[in-house]
Structure 1
Amino acid sequence: MLHNFAGNVEMYGFLDSVGSGPVEARVSKNSTMVGVGMSMEGIEQNPVVYDLMSEMAFQHNKIDVMKWVDSYSSRRYGKFVPSLQEAWNILYHTVYNCTDGAYDKNRDVIVAFPDVDPTVYSINRFSTKKSLKDEDEPFDKPHLWYSTSEVIRALKLFIEGGKELSRSNTYRYDLVDLTRQALAKYANDLFLDVIEAYESRDSYSVAYLSEKFLDLVDDMDALLASHEGFLLGPWLESSKQLAVDKEQEKQYEWNARTQITMWFDNTEEEASLLRDYGNKYWSGLLRDYYGPRAAIYFKYLKESLATGDRFNLQGWRREWIKLTNEWQNGRYVYPVKSEGDALSISQRLFDKYLYDSGINDH
């Protein structure tokens, strides 16, 4: 199973395929299959996918995935909570039912900000879902294969069950991840709202919506900080621990910072083709890199409207690449322990952004 690339953080999978594919392969005509394996570029995300795939090594028959999911929350959290069982059934039919055959590489706007002139966007205003039109775009569009409103409903159920499970580390991990997933898709739509306002030459809305986007990034950083599974600090500290002296420590930290941002073959005005390949939703990275990067782009949008000039694409690129290189060379020590209450933060952000968000559905 090749499920994940570069350790990107994205709730994604096709559980029905996992629960049947290995058995079908084993019993197929002329099969030479002798075992089950996983060959992902990154792990430590989507534990439900890896739980099921690991179990398939011991199964002689296909699994009834619906039945398996029904009991999953009890096994994972150590307690049966009806709202969590219902939530996982929703997730099974949405984020974990990706049947479109598309290659999933997280290109959410926050973690993979489009490096394009805003005039290249073609926003479809004649659909119930605001989206980019189907024409080829000079950037990778975010992948969306499920009903966002259904996932928001699952999140509501997760939060409702929180009082009974707030002591469970696995529950808190899943809660933070699901809240992050819902907010990330909300951010994609919010970015399109900014672009639509720019196309309409609406300076007030561009300013208001771009600040709302940046506020959301900061809020998501605080959310991610509430669980140790979403921290930048452990990644950087583990790299430094491999060093034998201070000079090597500095080099290893630079390597770790570069791997998750922009690989070092850029010029002052041309970004690396391998930018954001290893993007991560990690606390610290949103606050100090993804947020400031988006702020630069929005600054040039507002300047374009104020002066009447075209969007300064080269100016944006120079500042973005400069920000990237400075962050890569930084030595700020990020926390390795979580901070904040995941349940209360998730509830607050749900109420702030998703309770009546009007998010465009799939």
Structure 2
Amino acid sequence: MLHNFAADFEMYGVLDAVASGPIDARLSENSTMVGVGMSMEGIEQNPIVYDLMSEMSFHQRQVDLQVWVETYPTRRYGKSVVGLQDAWRILHQTLYNCTDGKNDKNRDVIVAFPDVEPFVIQTPGLYARTSKNYSTLALENYVVKDASNDAYEQPHIWYDTVAVIHALELFLEYGDEVSDSSTFRYDLVDLTRQALAKYANQIFLKIIQGYKSNNINQVTTLCDRFLNLVNDLDMLLASHEGFLLGPWLESAKGLARDHEQEIQV
């Protein structure tokens, strides 16, 4: 497994491929496979993907993902909570089921450089109506259409965002039962960050619409909302050390051989 997210990661994966790919490769005709390895750009993201991949060296047949995902929150949080099992079932079918064939690179506006001329960004008809059934509910949603001719690099949307928000609601509803788990708090922060980042994309496009139509009030109001969202995300990410820069800096200082090297860090 070789991952490169260009330093901007998000919740993403293809669990079905991970659960079957190594087995298929080993059993293929004239296979010379001798093991399973991972080379990722920073492992501090999408732990479910690497948890599953780490197991594949020990499996002789394809993993039953329905069972594996259902028991995953129990292993990760130390307690069985039905609501969280439902949430992870949804996440498996959405965030961790990217089957559009595109390599993921986080293009969300919240992490992008403001270097695009607003008038080249397409906004009319940007969303297409879809309807999908998930394990706990049936939902309709809007997903980004293919805009390959657009000079603006559209955010990568491969899942039903409404379903993911429902999964977040389940995290909030049932999270008190495992609130003492650091891994749960990490996942809660990460999932909230994912939802807010996609919401920021919607606000941005409405700002562009207002800009094109010379609607100063709309632009001003939505810009304030966007900037408040940036502050909210900063506050959110500061609530768990897994998203802070400080621990990385302190870890680097711990490798310094003398005071001079520590100052350089």
- Distance in 1 separating the partners of 2:146 and 2:214: 21
1:13 and 1:97 in contact (8 A); partners too? yes
Please report how far the alpha carbon of residue 140 of structure 1 lies from its aligned counterpart in structure 2 after TM superposition: 3.0
Whether 1:142 and 2:155 are equivalent positions in the alignment is yes
- 53-62 or 131-140, which deviates more: 131-140
- Distance in 2 separating the partners of 1:97 and 1:108: 19
Whether 1:89 and 2:61 are equivalent positions in the alignment is no
Q: Find the counterpart in structure 2 of residue 168 from structure 1.
A: 181
| Larger strand proportion of the pair | 2
- Amino acid aligned to 2:27: V
In structure 2, the CA distance between the partners of 1:212 and 1:50, relative to structure 1 (3 Å rule), is same
Provide the aligned length of Structure 1 versus Structure 2.
252
Deviations 1:165-198 (A, max 9, x none): 1111111111111111111111111111111110
Whether 1:57 and 2:57 are equivalent positions in the alignment is yes
Q: Find the counterpart in structure 2 of residue 74 from structure 1.
A: 74
Q: Find the counterpart in structure 1 of residue 3 from structure 2.
A: 3
2:11 and 2:46 in contact (8 A); partners too? yes
- Distance in 2 separating the partners of 1:9 and 1:27: 32
- Distance in 1 separating the partners of 2:179 and 2:239: 12
Please report how far the alpha carbon of residue 5 of structure 1 lies from its aligned counterpart in structure 2 after TM superposition: 2.6
Helix, strand or coil for the counterpart of 1:151?
Answer: helix
Helix, strand or coil for the counterpart of 2:80?
Answer: coil
- Distance in 2 separating the partners of 1:127 and 1:7: 27
2:204 and 2:226 in contact (8 A); partners too? yes
2:144 and 2:157 in contact (8 A); partners too? no
Question: Equivalent of 2:197, from 154, 170, 184?
Answer: 184
- Distance in 1 separating the partners of 2:78 and 2:105: 32
1:7 and 1:44 in contact (8 A); partners too? no
- Amino acid aligned to 1:78: G
Q: Find the counterpart in structure 2 of residue 193 from structure 1.
A: 206
Q: Find the counterpart in structure 1 of residue 138 from structure 2.
A: none
Whether 1:106 and 2:119 are equivalent positions in the alignment is no
Whether 1:19 and 2:19 are equivalent positions in the alignment is yes
Helix, strand or coil for the counterpart of 2:168?
Answer: helix
Question: Equivalent of 1:204, from 188, 212, 217?
Answer: 217
Helix, strand or coil for the counterpart of 1:29?
Answer: coil
- Distance in 1 separating the partners of 2:178 and 2:30: 48
Residues 289-300 of structure 1 mapped to structure 2, 5 A cutoff: none
Please report how far the alpha carbon of residue 236 of structure 1 lies from its aligned counterpart in structure 2 after TM superposition: 3.2
Normalised TM-score (structure 2):
0.88
Deviations 1:221-259 (A, max 9, x none): 11111111011222333344545677755654xxxxxxx
Deviations 1:271-322 (A, max 9, x none): xxxxxxxxxxxxxxxxxxxxxxxxxxxxxxxxxxxxxxxxxxxxxxxxxxxx
Whether 1:225 and 2:235 are equivalent positions in the alignment is no
In structure 2, the CA distance between the partners of 1:83 and 1:4, relative to structure 1 (3 Å rule), is farther
- Distance in 2 separating the partners of 1:12 and 1:28: 27
Q: Find the counterpart in structure 2 of residue 47 from structure 1.
A: 47
Q: Which runs of 5+ in 2 are unaligned?
A: 129-141
- 87-96 or 34-43, which deviates more: 34-43
Please report how far the alpha carbon of residue 136 of structure 1 lies from its aligned counterpart in structure 2 after TM superposition: 2.8
In structure 2, the CA distance between the partners of 1:90 and 1:207, relative to structure 1 (3 Å rule), is same
2:126 and 2:145 in contact (8 A); partners too? no
- Amino acid aligned to 2:5: F
Q: Find the counterpart in structure 1 of residue 122 from structure 2.
A: 122
2:210 and 2:218 in contact (8 A); partners too? yes
Helix, strand or coil for the counterpart of 1:172?
Answer: helix
Please report how far the alpha carbon of residue 75 of structure 1 lies from its aligned counterpart in structure 2 after TM superposition: 1.0
2:168 and 2:188 in contact (8 A); partners too? yes
- Distance in 1 separating the partners of 2:116 and 2:259: 39
- Amino acid aligned to 1:203: I
In structure 2, the CA distance between the partners of 1:45 and 1:7, relative to structure 1 (3 Å rule), is farther
What is the aligned-residue RMSD (CA, Å)? 2.0
In structure 2, the CA distance between the partners of 1:132 and 1:118, relative to structure 1 (3 Å rule), is farther
